[in-house]
Amino acid sequence: MDLNRRDFFLAGAAALLSRNNLTAASSADLITLSPSPKDLEMPLVDFIDEITPVEHFFVRCHTMIPEVSLSDWKLEIAGLVDRPLSFTLADLKKFPRTELVSVLECAGNGRIFYKPAVAGTQWRFGSVGNARWTGVRLKDVLEKAGVKSGATQLLLEGADKPLAAMPKFQRTIEIAKAMHPDTLLAWEMNGKPLTSDHGFPLRVIAPGWASDSWVKWLTRIELLDHDFDGFWMKTAYRHPAQHIAPGTAIDPKDMVPVTNLNVKSVIAHPAGWAAPGLVTVQGVAWSNTSPVTKVEVSADDGRTWAAATLTGKPTKYGFRKWTVVWPAAEGEHTLMSRATNEAGQTQPLEPEWNPNGYLYNAAAPMPVTISKSRPAPASVTSEPAQPEPDGYKASCFGCHDDHMMRQQHITRAQWDREVAKMTGWGAQVKPEQRDGLLDYLAARYKP
């Protein structure tokens, strides 16, 4: 074995790691970004599974999880239909049962990697998972109600209630996506009823699209003949249609709604360290409505790339496992993986910056130490305590705790905009306390 050759990887299929033979990394708990509203991220080691177990699946909620009881739950179909209808879960189960495997990925996954930093939940890799979803085609349900000509959008609402004066989470999808045979209303995830974290009793499955369209706890669908102008369509979940220079301010009306995901991959193993020798580099790749066709790995900062072996069962919308053997010499290394889909889209080396930090898909550099023994974990230094300004808890902690702030690394001007948004949503900040609050946030949670 010649470790000095230009090609860093060995051809041929590697021994696949699974939970059973994975000794270097064992599955870990979800990472709490915010306990309430609940935002939980999946750690990298859990990308070892092709189908993500529900207990490892990330959770994202804008508000509190609603307690839905099946006996009073109904799905209402209203608006531009011939027959407004309402369905119980038992009614829905009479339609032909449909099942598919699809990735569910938050539009904000990878937001933490954008430079300059943007405000919002600071997801790293793990606000994504892959599950088997069971339910009915949305199209079958809509056809039963009879969609009137002129209907262009479906307004989707769940049973969750906004916090304070926050706008209700209401999302629309275009009629073409709604009528696609792969767009489902699902009540099962990996063969079991949806848990309340994931939308019990019913959620939207919009394969290939970012998960802001996958409305949970679904209760109402209204057919509209116009674009909906609620906050979550007209302000949030928009990104520039064209490249903009990092840090550029841009009005939401000059951006377009987030729909399709970007092609992407992650390295699950090795997780930061491996012993010298033949190392199995393994991960998953996923895409939008165009399936993954190729994954390549680089150990030299993207100068050369070796094709990984795609393994597992190909599914149109699911995770695709991949693996490659790396003859790794002692030292500090950086690995990168990049996926390509059938449509020819490839992960870029530089991220496409946008003001809300959506759809991050750059080939992320993953540092790996190759050494005979595992390095001791770096010690965590805790922030020196600073006195909280007057009114801090009273103003902010009505809806969430300081997990929301601790994630952010933003400027005073960005904090000013966040505070303005929160006061607009009902946070009570006394005028004489506003500057002190901003000083504290900007000093403590800065770039």
Ligand X SMILES: Nc1nc2c(c(=O)[nH]1)N[C@H]1C(S)=C(S)[C@@H](COP(=O)(O)O)O[C@H]1N2
Return residues touching ligand X (CB under 6 A).
57-62, 104, 106, 158, 160, 169, 197-198, 211-212, 214-217
Provide the minimum distance between the beta carbon of 358 and ligand X in the complex, in angstroms, as a whole number.
11
User: What would the two tokens of residue 413 be?
Assistant: 């001007």
Buried b (16+ CB within 10 A) or exposed e, 8-42: bbeeeebeebeeeebebbeeeebeebbeebbbbbb
Cα angle 284, 285, 290 (rounded to 5 degrees) comes to: 150
Provide the minimum distance between the beta carbon of 271 and ligand X in the complex, in angstroms, as a whole number.
22
Residue number, nearest CB to ligand X: 158
Count residues binding Mo ion (CB under 5 A): 3
383 within 8 A of 292, measured Cβ to Cβ: no
Q: 170 contacts which partner out of ligand X, Mo ion, none, CB within 5 to 8 A by kind?
A: none
Nearer to ligand X, 63 or 98 (CB): 63
Task: Tell me the CA end-to-end span of the chain in Å, nearest whole number.
Answer: 45
Provide the minimum distance between the beta carbon of 422 and ligand X in the complex, in angstroms, as a whole number.
17
107 within 8 A of 60, measured Cβ to Cβ: no
Q: 322 contacts which partner out of ligand X, Mo ion, none, CB within 5 to 8 A by kind?
A: none
Question: Based on C-alpha coordinates, what's the Rg of the chain?
Answer: 23
Q: 104 contacts which partner out of ligand X, Mo ion, none, CB within 5 to 8 A by kind?
A: ligand X
CB-CB neighbours of 437 under 10 Å:
21
Backbone torsions φ then ψ of 171, nearest 5 degrees: -125, 150
Provide the minimum distance between the beta carbon of 346 and ligand X in the complex, in angstroms, as a whole number.
24
For tokens 């405000």, the residue is 119
Provide the minimum distance between the beta carbon of 101 and ligand X in the complex, in angstroms, as a whole number.
15
Nearer to ligand X, 127 or 323 (CB): 127
Nearer to ligand X, 30 or 117 (CB): 30
Nearer to Mo ion, 60 or 294 (CB): 60
Does position 106 interact with Mo ion (CB under 5 A)? The reply is: yes
Short-list 57, 343, 60, 103, CA closest to 209: 103
For tokens 């209303």, the residue is 185
- CA dist., res. 267 & res. 281, Å (int): 7
Does position 359 interact with Mo ion (CB under 5 A)? The reply is: no
Does position 218 interact with Mo ion (CB under 5 A)? The reply is: no
Does position 173 interact with Mo ion (CB under 5 A)? The reply is: no
Nearer to Mo ion, 60 or 338 (CB): 60
Q: 445 contacts which partner out of ligand X, Mo ion, none, CB within 5 to 8 A by kind?
A: none
User: For the chain, how are helix, strand and coil distributed in percent, rounded to 5?
Assistant: 15, 30, 55
* Interaction site with Mo ion (CB under 5 A): 60, 106, 212
